Amino acid sequence: MTERKDYRAGLKPPKFGLAALFFMIAMLGASFAAIKFFGGHAAIGVVVMLLAVAAHVVGTAIGKKLRDSGNRPLPNADGELPEYAQRELTDDDFAPSTRLSRHDSMGRATFVLIAIGAILSAAVGAILFLFVYWEKAEIWNIGAGALAFAILGGIATFAGVGFLRASIGAVSQASSDIRKRR
């Protein structure tokens, strides 16, 4: 079997110039100054956030380069482009779109579940606050703890319900496609 030659341009190795080196040294010095000024925990939190943003930007740049280089087809063993690369692509050349690509309402049941999750989380937050700070418990403190737990519980419930709903929809569509093919 003949080996196919890949003539697509790959990723070039990263190049660091003197300006980039000085920038990294300056950022390291700034992070040391932030640790001294704000304390360790706050400065490390800021550094982690900045690293997350930098990783996102770098990942986007690498992904764009890989996407651009991956759009070119490989030639056959004869050295010619495959048949699909020589003609205009039609809708039949692609897989059918799934239900996940549609944007539709989450429904009333989802909002009810999110409200129940937020209310239960608020109750847990208030009870937890009462147990931890029994001597200093005031209505404002209990309310702030309950509100914080309600917000976090609502977000967690929304994420869980959305993931479960998408998973059930994907499995049901995949299983119905399998049944249609038989």
DSSP 134: T
| pLDDT(42) > 80 | yes
* Residue 92 identity: D
pLDDT-based confidence at residue 152 (cuts at 50, 70, 90): very high
Q: What is the pLDDT of residue 8?
A: 58
Residue type, 23: F
Pair of tokens at residue 152: 């976090």
The answer to whether 4 and 76 are in contact (CB under 8 A) is yes
pLDDT-derived band of residue 74, with 50, 70 and 90 as boundaries?
low
Evaluate if residue 90 carries a pLDDT over 90: no
pLDDT tens column, 10-38: 667 777 789 888 998 998 898 888 888 88
More confident residue, 38 or 182: 38
Burial 61-95 (b: 16+ CB within 10 A, else e): eeeeeeeeeeeeeeeeeeeeeeeeeeeeeeeeeee
Cα–Cα distance, 170 to 97 (Å, whole number): 12
Q: Which residue has the higher pLDDT, 165 or 68?
A: 165
Give the predicted TM-score (pTM) of the model.
0.49
Task: Please answer whether residues 161 and 136 qualify as being in contact, where contact means their C-beta atoms are separated by less than 8 angstroms.
Answer: no
Higher per-residue confidence, 4 vs 95: 95
Output the six-digit token pair for 159. 């994420």
Percent of the chain with pLDDT over 90: 25
Q: Is 173 exposed, middle or buried (0-12, 13-18, 19+ CB in 10 A)?
A: middle
For residue 36, how far is the Cα from the chain centroid? 33
As a whole number, mean pLDDT of residues 75-79 equals: 68
